[in-house]
Chain A
Amino acid sequence: MRYWEDFAVGQTYTTDPVIMRQADIIRFAEKYDPQFFHTDPQAAKMGPFGKIAASGWHTASTGMRMMLQNLIRDVASQGAPGVKSLRWLKPVFPDDELTLTSEIMETYPSGSRPKIGFVLAKHTMTRQGDEVVMTMENVFMVLKREHAA
């Protein structure tokens, strides 16, 4: 189990690739982002991306799962208060192979809650290894080792 003190500025984490499947793109978008360029491969050919693309929220949610691969794996996580910023730079298409790289930018203790500390991280999601599709900056909360359950 890793605690707040185990995070340090400059650490980087890179995930294994995750493949975005068309069936999953459609399933997510039908439920949460039912716009034709996310749900209908035929109609999407006439849409803004020229073919069906994942909902940005699907890409972001996939990023969350990828963070749990290593950045927040086996961590005394206390959740996150939010996201500072997120940018969708390029559409994500079926069969894109996504990789997430995260870098720790800052760690600081909580002023109001002595048992936890904050970790600020910058994330870059690429497809096929080098094309940046999404960036994100967020803060997450981790229990301090002395307060381990």
Chain B
Amino acid sequence: MSIPEMKARWLDDLTVGEQRRTGTYEVTREEIIEFAGEFDPQPFHLDDAAADASIFGGLCASGWHTASITMRLLIEGQQLNPAAMGSPGFDELNWFRPVRPGDTLYCTMTCLSVVPSKSKPDRGVARFHIETFNQADERVMDFKSIAMFRRKQ
């Protein structure tokens, strides 16, 4: 299999303040239960009766499911970027409100900073504020993503 045609977005092409918005993702009840069954089998993610009685007042998705859906939305529709060098991680992830069966999610991605590496002139680090919203434009999650990019040589 050949690697698809790739258009490079170098560190130097990123602009602080630039914001992008993703498409949408509908979160079904079946998928909530399937994900939670595999990764986060706590009662409030699996069972209506337990969820109704819990702090969440009803069945809701695992926060890690919301994060994984967010990753899907960020990847979708993006040209594969050969200048991207992956992410070493993230900071300050917040789960603000429950994600319910039938919610439709979308994300925004805002460039917070672009810092060329002092020790390695061929690369640098960009930070992005990722925010995930539901269909009522209520923020359900956010985090500060760290991503490494090559510089245009």
Contact with A along B61-99 (1 / 0, CB 8 A): 011110111011001100010000111111111110000
Residue of A nearest to B89 (CB): A87
| A85 cross-chain contacts in B, Cβ below 8 A | 89-92
Bound form: Cα–Cα A123–B87 in Å: 19
B38 at interface by CB-CB < 8 Å: yes
B71 CB, min distance to chain A CBs, angstroms? 5
B73 shortest CB reach to chain A, Å: 10
A40 in contact with B89 (CB, 8 Å): no
> At the interface, yes or no: B17 with Cβ under 8 Å from chain A?
no
B-chain residues with CB within 8 Å of residue A12 when the two chains form the complex: none
- Closest chain-A Cβ to B9's Cβ sits at a distance in Å of 15
Q: Are B89 and A57 in contact (CB under 8 A)?
A: no
Give chain A nearest CB distance to B81 CB in angstroms: 10
Contact A81 B88 (CB under 8 A): no
Tell me if B3 counts as interface (CB < 8 A to partner A): yes
Cβ A88 vs Cβ B88 within 8 A: yes
Instruction: List B contacts of A21 (CB < 8 A).
Output: none
Tell whether B41 is near chain A: CB-to-CB under 8 Å.
Answer: yes
> Is A77 in contact with B89, judged by CB distance below 8 angstroms?
no
The reply to whether A35 and B42 contact each other, CB–CB distance below 8 Å, is: no
CB distance from A107 to the nearest CB of B (A): 18
Is A79 in contact with B56, judged by CB distance below 8 angstroms?
Answer: yes
Say yes or no: is A50 at the interface (Cβ < 8 Å to chain B): no
Cβ–Cβ contact A36 & B95, under 8 A: no
Establish whether residues A33 and B68, one from each chain, have CB atoms under 8 Å apart when the complex forms: yes
Segment from A2-10, A59-67, A98-106, A124-132 that makes contact with B: A59-67
CB-defined interface of B21-63 with A at 8 Å, one 1/0 digit per residue? 0000000000000010011111010000000011110000011
- Chain B residues lying within 8 Å of A56, measured Cβ to Cβ, are 87, 89
Q: Which B residues are CB-close (under 8 A) to A31? A: 68, 72
Docked complex Cα distance between A58 and B86 (Å): 15
The 9 closest A-B pairs by CB, nearest first: A87-B89, A32-B68, A82-B94, A83-B93, A61-B39, A61-B64, A82-B93, A85-B91, A32-B72
